[in-house]
Amino acid sequence: MSRSIAGFDFGTSNCAVGIMQGKQAQLVKLPEHGNYMPSTLFAPQSEMICGWLYQQLDAQDKAQAFQQARGQQLSASLRALKELKLDGYDEHLSFGQQALKEYLVDPADCYYVRSPKSFLGASGIRERQQQQFEDIAAAMMWHISQQVKQSGQAELAKVVIGRPVNFQGLNSEVSNQQAISILSNAARFVGFEQVEFLYEPMAAGLSYQQQLQQEQRVLVIDIGGGTSDVSMLIMGPDYLATRDHQELVLGYNGERIGGNDFDIALNFETLMPSLGAKLKLASGQPMPIKPFWDAAAINDFPAQTRFYEKDTRLLLQRLLKEPQLSPLKGLLRLSDERQTYQLSACAEQAKIALSEAQTSTVDLSYLIEQLQVDVTQEAYQQAAERLLNSIATLSDDVIAQAGCQPEAIFLTGGSANSPMIKNFLAKRYQAPLISGDNFGSVTSGLTLWADNIFE
């Protein structure tokens, strides 16, 4: 079988693959997902992921590297798969929208991961957790690579993968090394022959510069699902082919702020109060806020772990002895039925609705009978203020690094559609605001770069 060169956007919110068609980068339409696969994975049990991946690789004689890396852990996972079958459970993994559908059938009895990229740079993870992240990333890469083959394209071989400037983590350099190691190992396990990484805002900029007739200094602001990356780039006709891309970077910075964080902020500030977040204890003390934040922070692995721990449940049960704190029953139910992702999805839908409407009504009757919460644009603006200012701080830092003002601002990423974000940036910076393909710019740029560097 022929082997292909591709750009691979392993995104926080969505994954996509691009290949060259003539001189144009084209996104591959994945049979089960379309151009974009939501970055989600469902498994009946977490223990089965390793064994499932091995079985897929082994069926195509590609399991050697993975088998050597996992050893006894693989044996335990294969036993777990066998037990699942005996107990009448499905033995498959699901991805994208199908993963969410299966999670919602019984959230308390499954393993569901949304935006695994958010966790790759997390501080303090143990070796076993890192291996689990490798297995999740590899399972998603494997599924997408098989989707590419089913679409009629050649098997992926030489791939450029996008990366943020900084992954999440307290020590950015250590976090970046950890995340790149996870992605590199995952790519090796699934059989990619060559892998290179390119900063995502640079990739987005590469797509835009193809349109230019003369040199420009462009501030690329890429607001993705989990990260925001800002770069000041020199762009111009044929610069991709004729100039070293590192020489074209005048400044860059990145932080773990993205669409997920806007969902979290809206959730925490406008939905959690209906579950008791702003109530007072009988002693007059404010309600402990940590359980509410941990429940909302779906992109924070330690926070989600804490929320589902026994200590949090005991705290909520103790607080519920005070009659005026009865709304906490909704938060306790959120924990019992493991529905933090569902609540976050409600916040995300409200955020999308508020792009066009002044008010959005969120149905929380699955937590408290007949509970409906009205969220206004003004409340969302207040909830998002800190995040908007953080994006502005990133942009100001990059402008200072570059020592010049941008001649244009190229806005991309899944959250770039937000009128609130566009209006904020337009008021702050006196430069033309250009919107690219908010989801496809990075993938197209990665594909252009892959075509440039690989033979």
pLDDT at 1: 43
Structure tokens at 429: 């910076």
Q: Does residue 197 lie within any of the structural domains?
A: no
- Co-location of 42 and 121 in the same domain: yes
Q: Does residue 84 lie within any of the structural domains?
A: yes
Q: Does residue 248 lie within any of the structural domains?
A: yes
CATH number for position 76? 3.30.420.40
Q: Does residue 39 lie within any of the structural domains?
A: yes
- Co-location of 175 and 280 in the same domain: no
Residue where one domain finishes, among candidates 192, 222, 238: 192
Q: Does residue 454 lie within any of the structural domains?
A: no
- Co-location of 252 and 322 in the same domain: no
Give the structural domain span for 370: 260-383
- Co-location of 178 and 279 in the same domain: no
- Co-location of 65 and 132 in the same domain: yes
- Co-location of 277 and 418 in the same domain: no
pLDDT tens track for 331-377:
999 999 999 999 999 999 999 999 889 999 999 999 999 999 999 99
- Co-location of 139 and 282 in the same domain: no
Mean pLDDT value across the chain = 91
Q: Does residue 232 lie within any of the structural domains?
A: yes
Residue where one domain finishes, among candidates 316, 349, 383: 383
- Co-location of 329 and 290 in the same domain: yes
pTM, full prediction: 0.76
- Co-location of 286 and 252 in the same domain: no
Q: Does residue 110 lie within any of the structural domains?
A: yes
Q: Does residue 446 lie within any of the structural domains?
A: no
- Co-location of 233 and 284 in the same domain: no
pLDDT tens track for 425-446:
999 998 999 887 667 889 999 9
- Co-location of 251 and 391 in the same domain: yes
pLDDT at 2: 56
Number of compact structural domains in the chain: 3
pLDDT tens track for 131-153:
999 999 999 999 999 999 999 99
- Co-location of 302 and 175 in the same domain: no
